[in-house]
Structure 1
Amino acid sequence: MPDGVEFDIRADETILAAAIRQHVPWPYRCRTGGCQSCLCQRVQGEVEYGPMEPWLTQQEQAQGWTYACLAKPISDLEIRL
């Protein structure tokens, strides 16, 4: 994905849902966190997962790894695919 791509995410919308809605090319398959295709890394910002906790270790989460299909931003984000 090219650097500098920006898109808006609505309240209560996942990163992946917003990318799809705005035709941002994003890899995905299952949309439930099982396939890991949408995995990205947060450089800045915070997300929440709600009832669906990601299958990531505490160390992976601390490194910013995030499931775009499950994560909903709670701040502005900078992410890396």
Structure 2
Amino acid sequence: MEENPDPRQVMLLPSGLQFEATEGESVLQAALRQHIIMPSSCRNGTCRACMCRKQSGEVRYLIDWPGLSPDEKAEGWILPCVATPLTALELQVPLAKPKSPA
């Protein structure tokens, strides 16, 4: 019997939008899957369009060297396009919004 991945709760501030990300799924992929739009462009950790500040929680990167400096990482900045949550997360993403119905 296959086990279900353990979902991680993600809250976006100041909007209060919430969604779950599964292990190995990037924060951006999880948001898009659940019809939440976050700023993004390249989706591979280089352009920094999705850069946001982590208020709480821990992430692991899906690539070896995301486009953040050590100082930025120490200040809590993450790249949600290549970050997967290890715990529940609270992120400052002022431009996040629900996807409009088609």
Instruction: Give the number of aligned pairs.
Output: 81
* Residues 34-73 of structure 1: per-residue CA shift (max 9 Å, x gap): 2211111100000011433212111110111100100011
Q: Which residues of structure 1 form unaligned runs of 5+? A: none
2:61 to 49, 55, 58: 49
2:74 match: 62
Let me know the Cα RMSD of the aligned residues: 1.4
Equivalent runs, 1:2-81 vs 2, <5 Å? 2-81=14-93
Specify every segment of 5 or more residues in structure 2 that has no aligned partner in the other structure, as ranges.
1-12, 94-102
SS in 1 for 2:31: helix
Structure with a larger share of its residues in strand: 2
- 2:10 is aligned to none
Q: Which has the larger radius of gyration?
A: 2
Give the stretch that moved more between structures: 28-37 or 7-16. Answer: 28-37
- Normalization by structure 2: what TM-score? 0.73
Amino acid at match of 1:29: S
Structure 1 stretches (4+) deviating beyond 3 angstroms?
none
Pair 28,4 (structure 1): closer, same or farther in 2 beyond 3 Å = same
Q: In 2, distance between residues paired with 1:19 and 1:39? A: 14
* TM-score under structure 1 length normalisation: 0.90
